């Protein structure tokens, strides 16, 4: 469980999960467990994988990985090993998307390049009269007041208007998210046309 082979095997496990191969994923998991790899290291990698490589294509994947961690913590070995194996198969067979991972990296890059862009006035909180006098919150529209639960207003700083970070795939649950975002884009166009 140390040295180059340690990293080779965890890499093989991760890439087998990403490649949707439950057979190879189980094999590499068994290799790590048999060699004495600490299950918390494997579980940590699985939790990261659920967000990085599955994301919103199957939002349940993160919960499954967290549940495996909790089950292992409660049961220990050997009983808890099965929870890790069950989660491994789930992660391997889940639809994959790294759209959230990519989107977050792009957002971080904008923050690094322009770290202190001001919050638009209409979405600032205005708990004091002075803030209200400075137009904090002026023009903000409450989304729940709209029959569609959506208001076409800008939430990003001015320098980033129109920026698109998250581009959902057509895999798994992200297909539903993509459809919803397309509907919102249509509502936005209707709003802009009506102006």
Q: What is the DSSP string of the chain?
A: --HHHHHHHHHHHHHHHHTT-HHHHHHHHHHHHHTT--HHHHHHHHHHHIIIIIGGGSTHHHHHHHHHHHHHHHH-TTTTHHHHHHHHHHHHHS----HHHHHHHHHHHHHHHSTTPPPPGGGS---SHHHHHTTTTTT---GGGSTTS------S-GGGTT-------SSTTHHHHHHHHHHHHHHHHHHHHH-
What pLDDT does residue 130 have?
A: 95
pLDDT per residue as tens digits for the range 23-77 = 999 999 999 999 999 999 999 999 999 999 999 999 999 999 999 999 999 999 9
Model pTM score: 0.88
pLDDT per residue as tens digits for the range 135-194 = 999 999 999 999 989 998 999 999 999 999 999 999 999 999 999 999 999 998 888 888
What pLDDT does residue 2 have?
A: 60
pLDDT at 1 over 60: no
């Amino acid at each position: 469980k140390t040295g180059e082979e340690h990293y080779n095997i965890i890499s093989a496990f991760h890439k087998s999960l990403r490649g949707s191969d439950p057979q190879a994923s189980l094999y590499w998991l068994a290799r790590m467990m048999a060699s004495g790899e600490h299950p918390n290291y494997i579980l940590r990698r699985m939790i990261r994988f659920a967000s990085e490589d599955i994301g919103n294509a199957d939002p349940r994947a993160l919960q499954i990985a967290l549940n495996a961690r909790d089950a292992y913590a409660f049961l220990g070995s050997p009983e808890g090993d099965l929870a890790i194996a069950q989660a491994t198969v789930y992660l391997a067979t889940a639809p994959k998307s790294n759209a959230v991972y990519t989107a977050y990296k792009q957002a971080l890059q904008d923050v690094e390049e322009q770290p202190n862009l001001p919050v638009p006035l209409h979405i600032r909180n205005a708990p004091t009269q002075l803030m209200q006098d400075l137009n904090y919150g002026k023009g903000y529209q409450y989304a729940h007041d709209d029959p569609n639960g959506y208001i076409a207003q800008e939430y990003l700083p001015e320098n980033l208007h129109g920026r698109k970070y998250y581009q959902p795939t057509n895999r798994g649950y992200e297909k539903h998210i993509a459809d919803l975002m397309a509907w919102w884009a249509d509502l936005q166009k209707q709003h802009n046309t009506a102006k």
